[in-house]
Amino acid sequence: MNQERFQNGKLKGTPVSSGIAIGKVYLLERGRIHVSKYTLKDEQVEKETARFKAAVKRSVEELNSIKDSIPDDEVRKHAFIIDAHLLILQDRYFYNDVIDIMRRQRINAEWALDIVVSKFLSSFEKVEDPYLRERGQDVNYIYQRLLRILVKGKVSGMDAKGIKGKVVIVAHDLSPADTIQLDLNKVSGFVTDVGGRTSHTSIVARALEIPAVVGLGTVTGLVRNNETVIIDGDEGVVIVNPAPEVQREYLAKQVDLSAQRKEFLRIAKLRSETKDGFRIRVGANIELLAEMDIVERYGAEGIGLYRTEYIYLSRKTLPTEMDHYHIYRKLAENRAVKYTTIRTLDLGGDKFASKIEVPKEINPAMGLRAIRLCIKELDIFRAQLRGILRASFYGPLRILFPMVSGMDEVKRAKAVLRECMDELRAEQVPFNEEIEIGIMIEVPSTTMITDLLAREVDFFSIGTNDLIQYTLAIDRVNEYVSYLYEPLHPSVLRMIKKTVDDAHAGKIEVCLCGEMAGEPLYVPILLGLELDELSMNAYVIPRVKKIIRGLGQSYCKELVKEIFSKESAKESEALLRKEMTTMFPEDFARGA
Ligand code: PEP
Ligand code: MG
């Protein structure tokens, strides 16, 4: 890549771990190791076998020493992955298979290893269980390690000791051993070509709060050692060779963030209550079980929204009832949170899964998606509902139906749920008979009938991301119309107010789980509108709690009255900013 072209070059990847890192690149250039294949003479076979055994022994030693030298208690929690690698390495089938093939076919160790690993990998591919299937990746990591030792005859891990100062690790991919082995005091961020939110690097990075952006495609080909990069783990942006003013901008942001973080972790543990004693629950939105550590650390009372699409997106086959059950049971049994709201499949629109055939539609956001799809594809829906019900026996789960547009859909979804309950009862499978059922209020039509819907369900959850999209007729992922995306639009605020008022008149609770809930600026409005719960990305919980604790609800109600007299979102925002800057100068002075 031309250096000039790459001054201040901005790359966009998947944000997987929040925060900003600025540092020098430490490029882990692994490259592909060429596997030489050759046949052996009879007298070479034993020597070759010994070479393979020595490589395995060396790998075991390496992994054990990585485990022993884990520098941090937090990281140690993830060392079980290394144990899994050790087990595979010492697995008799794996080990003996390689030796057996070497002896029978008279081929070198690398070649035999290649054959055995390919066989293992293709069996893993077929495994139903997503967790087990992912273990195929572990076999691959072991293969790479053994290969490096066999080919190069030297330590296969990264030379973490060679790292000077704090660096940003840039790699094609990082094995769990690579990640764990690093002295994390020296790592300020991770950037990789491949990977997604579920890859080990991402999980570890999040648990350790090291900013990370993955899935950048060719970043390893674009940067060189010692070049400066900025990682924005919230935006998924990596800036290579930033201009001095860009660096200054991010540096200031980073300093602010780290000073705030300490304070936030303290606030996370405090009650979510206004100065005049109004309690509002603060929950977390999650997509992965692995996020539960963060949810706990950042002080969520419950899971206000578990987006289950990722269960479908991350696998090649459809999840079975038992797949669902195992995942939801873990949530049900997690005592760190008081409740978990499981939203049934919300595929379609901006979320797709290759395993579910949805016809090509001109306008997918308004097409066969979410609850409409579930009501049509009953087997998919029933597997999920039965999985949730089974798990509900073990702890406080709630069910949430997405994208309903009217009463018929609610009744239909509930009827399917009732059938699942009848079946489970007949099969003598225990479940929570009183499980709470809610609906997302995110299609504008529902806001006009919340009085009726409140009789039919136990709670509402307002999905402002979609509600704003459909109300204002703007595609939520289309950058050209993003300027029209206004949460403070008078019609949006009126819809929220009507939803809450009707819900309370019908004696049910309302959560707001769109992005709007996690925006500190909007907190006084949401408090004034008397929502019962706000659910958001866990990282923003302390920020929102801080604002909640600094406000009085009676003031918020007055402010809402004034906001409702404004004719546009811009006017409302100006008023809000003025008020918030006066009350929380450190949070809003710079237009935060
Ligand atoms: C919403 O629409 O506001 C919502 C929370 O759901 P999602 O973003 O998953 O569509
Ligand atoms: Mg939605």
Sorting pLDDT into bands at 50, 70 and 90, what band is 129? low
CA of 427 to the centre of ligand 2 (A): 34
Average pLDDT over residues 476-490: 83
Q: Within 13 Å of residue 512, how many CA atoms lie on the same side as its CB?
A: 28
Name the average pLDDT for the chain: 86
How high is the pLDDT of residue 233?
92
Sorting pLDDT into bands at 50, 70 and 90, what band is 446? very high
* Nearest ligand, CA 306: 1
Residue 151: pLDDT above 50?
yes
In the chain, the percentage of residues whose pLDDT exceeds 70 is 86
Average pLDDT over residues 94-99: 87
Map residue 555 onto helix, strand or coil: helix
How high is the pLDDT of residue 5?
41
Residue 568: pLDDT above 80?
yes
Alpha carbon distance, N-terminus to C-terminus of the chain: 36
Residues recorded for the chain: 592
Instruction: Decide if 200 is catalytic.
Output: yes
Sorting pLDDT into bands at 50, 70 and 90, what band is 157? very low
Query: Which atom, in ligand 1's list, is nearest to the CA of 349?
Result: 10
Which amino acid residue places its CA nearest to atom 6 of ligand 1?
A: 463
Compute the distance between CA of residue 349 and CA of residue 364 in angstroms, rounded to an integer: 5
Residue 169: pLDDT above 70?
yes
Average pLDDT over residues 66-71: 70
Residue 445: pLDDT above 60?
yes
How high is the pLDDT of residue 17?
86
Average pLDDT over residues 284-313: 89
Q: Is the pTM of this model over 0.75?
A: no
| Identity at 120, one-letter amino acid code | F
Which of 462, 513, 533, 536 is the best mutation target for the ligand 1 pocket, counting ligand atoms within 8 Å of the beta carbon and taking the most?
513
CA of 463 to the centre of ligand 1 (A): 5
Instruction: Decide if 511 is catalytic.
Output: no
Q: From the CB of 351, is ligand 1 less than 6 Å away? A: no
Residue 149: pLDDT above 90?
no
Sorting pLDDT into bands at 50, 70 and 90, what band is 218? confident
Please tell me which residue, 455 or 120, carries the higher pLDDT value. 455
Average pLDDT over residues 116-145: 75
pLDDT in tens, 171-216: 888 776 666 666 667 888 999 888 776 566 776 777 677 899 988 8
| Active-site residue, from 85, 172, 200, 326 | 200
CA of 97 to the centre of ligand 1 (A): 49
Sorting pLDDT into bands at 50, 70 and 90, what band is 136? confident
Please tell me which residue, 476 or 528, carries the higher pLDDT value. 528
Residue 403: pLDDT above 60?
yes
pLDDT in tens, 15-61: 888 899 999 998 876 555 667 778 888 888 898 899 888 888 888 88
Residue 78: pLDDT above 90?
no
Q: From the CB of 242, is ligand 1 less than 6 Å away? A: no
Q: From the CB of 442, is ligand 1 less than 6 Å away? A: yes
* Nearest ligand, CA 516: 1
Q: From the CB of 486, is ligand 1 less than 6 Å away? A: no
CA of 286 to the centre of ligand 2 (A): 14
CA of 271 to the centre of ligand 2 (A): 28
Please give the structure tokens belonging to residue 359. 């016809």
Please tell me which residue, 294 or 505, carries the higher pLDDT value. 505
**Per residue in 551-571, is it b (16+ CB within 10 Å) or e — as a string?**
bebebbeebbeebeebeebee
Average pLDDT over residues 268-297: 92
CA distances from 156 to 63, 184, 292 (A): 10, 19, 33
Q: From the CB of 464, is ligand 1 less than 6 Å away? A: yes
Q: From the CB of 403, is ligand 1 less than 6 Å away? A: no
pLDDT in tens, 222-266: 888 888 999 999 889 999 999 999 999 999 988 888 887 888 899
Which DSSP letter does residue 344 get?
P
How high is the pLDDT of residue 64?
81
Average pLDDT over residues 59-72: 76
CA of 380 to the centre of ligand 1 (A): 21
Query: Which atom, in ligand 1's list, is nearest to the CA of 461?
Result: 5
Compute the distance between CA of residue 143 and CA of residue 110 in angstroms, rounded to an integer: 9
If one counts every other C-beta atom within 10 angstroms of the C-beta of residue 344, the result is: 23
DSSP string, 174-222: --HHHHHHS-GGGEEEEEESS--TTSHHHHHHHHHT--EEE--SSHHHH
How high is the pLDDT of residue 413?
98
How high is the pLDDT of residue 349?
64
Which of 303, 465, 477, 510 is the best mutation target for the ligand 1 pocket, counting ligand atoms within 8 Å of the beta carbon and taking the most?
465
Which amino acid residue places its CA nearest to atom 8 of ligand 1?
A: 465
Q: From the CB of 533, is ligand 1 less than 6 Å away? A: no
